[in-house]
A and B are shown apart, each in its own frame.
Chain A
Amino acid sequence: MRWISLGDSAVLIRVSDADAASALARRVAAARPDGFIECVPAFDSVTVCFDPLRVTPGALMNEIAHPRRAPSRRKSAVTAPREMIIPVCYDARFGPDLADVAARSGLDIHGVIKRHAAGRYVVGAIGFMPGFPYLSGLDARLHTPRRATPRMQIPAGSVGIGGAQTGVYPLASPGGWNLLGRTPVSLFRPDNESEPTLLRPGDHVRFRAITAEEFGAWK
C-alpha cells in the first residue's frame, strides 16, 4: 500500500479511485485496529486518523495492510454501494446559472437539464460542509469552472456544478458553484444521530427532475 504520514495523528493511503477508497474505509472501520479513530475516504485516498498515544503509524499500517481478523461473512452486503435518488427542481428560480452553463456548453437549457438528470454519479468525497457530496461522473459537456465571484449566500438544497463535479449544498452558505436547481430533500440532519447525512462516500447517486409543483408539495 502507498501511504504517507499526515502529521503525527493520521496517515494518508493512496488508492485507485473513489470506489476503492470507500471500500477500504469500510473495511478499516469494520476491523477497528488498535488506536483507530476514523477514516476519511476522498477520491483517490483514505485518511486514517488515530490516537498517537495508542499506536504508531507503522503498526497501524501493518494492521491495515495485513488484517489479522478474518473478513466478515457479510462482507459483500457491507461493501455494496447504495443507490440513492435525489429529486431536483430545475426551475429557473432555483437554477440562476442554467443559462450560463447552457451558453458555455453549446446546449440549450433543456439539454443541460436532460444531461445533468441523466447522469450516474458517485460520491467521491463528502466535505466543505456536513453532508456536501462531491459527485463525479458529470457529462463532459457540462464541465463549468467555478464562478469568478462566489455568491455570498446560496440556499440550502441548491444543486450546482464546480469544474468537473456536481454537488448539493446541504446548508445555506457562500459558494462559487454554478447553480442548476434545488432539491427539497434535506442532506444534513444534525438531530438524526445514526444517519446525520443523506449520503455517504461511495454512494451511487442519480437525480430525478421534478416540477415546481412537486417541489412545493414536498414535505
Chain B
Amino acid sequence: MEVIVRRPGVLTTLQDLGRPGRRQLGITPGGAMDPLSLRLANLLVGNPENVATLEMTLHGAELRFDHDALVAICGGDFATSLDGVELSTQRPFRVGAGSTLSIAGASRGCRAYLAVAGGFEIASTLGGCGTDLRAGFGGLQGRALRAGDVLRARDITVPSVAGGWFLADDWLPDLAGSVMLRALPGEHIDEFERNIFDHAFEVSPQSDRMGLRLRGEPFHRARGGELLSTGVMPGTVQIPPDGHPIILAADCQTIGGYPRVAHVITADLPTVGQLRPGDSVRFVGIDLQSARAALVEQSLNLRLLRIGLAGRLPWVRTDACSAWI
C-alpha cells in the first residue's frame, strides 16, 4: 500500500519508541515525544506498541491512501476529516482506497500519532525506525515529511471495526495546557537563589524535540562553579546561564554541562510531549518510590487496555503485542 503525502503539516516525522543503547557514542535514543500516545495509537489498530507511526506537530498532514487501511490517530485533539467529512479521533477507523485523510490544527495538546494497521515499511537504523532530525538519519531519509513523499505500508485485509467508541481522556496524557509535572530534585537545586518547585512557568515558542524552554523570572545561580558535562536524560531540567530552565526532551543531547535542578518523572514525559507554546507548567515534588508507582500504573493501564481491546479488535492475537510492559 502507498500513502501519498499531499501536505506535510508543520513537522511530521516517523517515530517509534526510540533507539536506546548508543548514548555513549553520542547517538540520542530519540523516538516519540509522547510515547504513551504512540503506544495507544498502535494498540488501537492491533499493532505491537513499538511500530513506527507518524508524529504530527500542532498542524497535521493530508494523506491519500491507495489501498483500504485501518488507521488510528491518538494524542492531542487534531481536527480530522476523511474525504471532507469530519471524523473523531482517539479510535481506529477505516480509510477506503482512494480516500484523502486530512489532519488540521490541534485544539488541545501539541502532538498526535497516526498508526496504520500492519505498520509503515521503514528500515531500522541503529536499533530504531525513528527520525533523528539533527543528525539526519532514520525515518524517511532522516528528515520531516514533504509534499509528494510516498510512504509504504504493509498491505492487510482490513477488518470491519464497530464504531461509536473512542479512548476517553483518562487514557491520554494531560492535554489541559496548564499542567503539574511530577519531578525529582536535581543535584544543583540548592545552588540557585530560588526553588524551581515554587514557581510557575510558561512554555516558550523556542521549544522543539530537543527541549522545552520555559519563560518566567530568571533563576540566578548563587554558588557552584563550572561543571564537567555528565549524562542527561529526557526530563532533566537544566538552567543555562540566561536563567531560563529547559526541560530536555526526546531528542536531547546525550551529555550536558548546565546545572541540573530537577528531573521530570518518566510517567509524565508524555505530558511534556503534549505541551505547546504558551502552556503553563508547575513542578511538583515526588519521591522515587511514587515515581515508580506512577510508571507501574501507566504500564498496567496499557495492559488492561490491550485486554479490553481484544474484544473490539477480535482479529488481533494478544500474544502478538508482547514486550514493552
Contacts and interface: CB of A to CB of B under 8 A. Distances in A.
A4 B187 contact: yes
A125 B266 CA distance: 25
Interface stretch (B46-54, B98-106, B129-137): B129-137
A169 to B, nearest CB: 12
Contacts of B136: 171
Interface string A134-149: 1000000000000000
A10 to B, nearest CB: 5
A10 B263 CA distance: 10
Interface residues of B, number: 44
A85 B144 CA distance: 36
Given A52-B295, A53-B295, A193-B126, A6 B231 contact: yes
Interface of A: 4-10, 12, 25, 37-47, 49, 52-53, 56-57, 125-132, 134, 171, 173, 188, 190-191, 193, 196-197, 200-201
A38 B228 contact: no
B137 to A, nearest CB: 4
B255 A40 contact: yes
A162 to B, nearest CB: 11
Contacts of A188: 135
Contacts of A10: 231, 233
A10 B31 CA distance: 18
A171 B256 CA distance: 19
Nearest to A57: B288
B172 interface: no
A7 B263 contact: yes
Interface string B197-208: 000000000000
B231 A12 contact: yes
Contacts of B255: 40, 42, 125, 127-128
A118 B233 CA distance: 36
A52 B291 contact: yes
Interface stretch (B16-24, B77-85, B110-118, B215-223): B16-24
B184 A197 contact: no
A47 B263 CA distance: 14
A73 to B, nearest CB: 24
Contacts of B26: 126-132, 197
A23 to B, nearest CB: 13
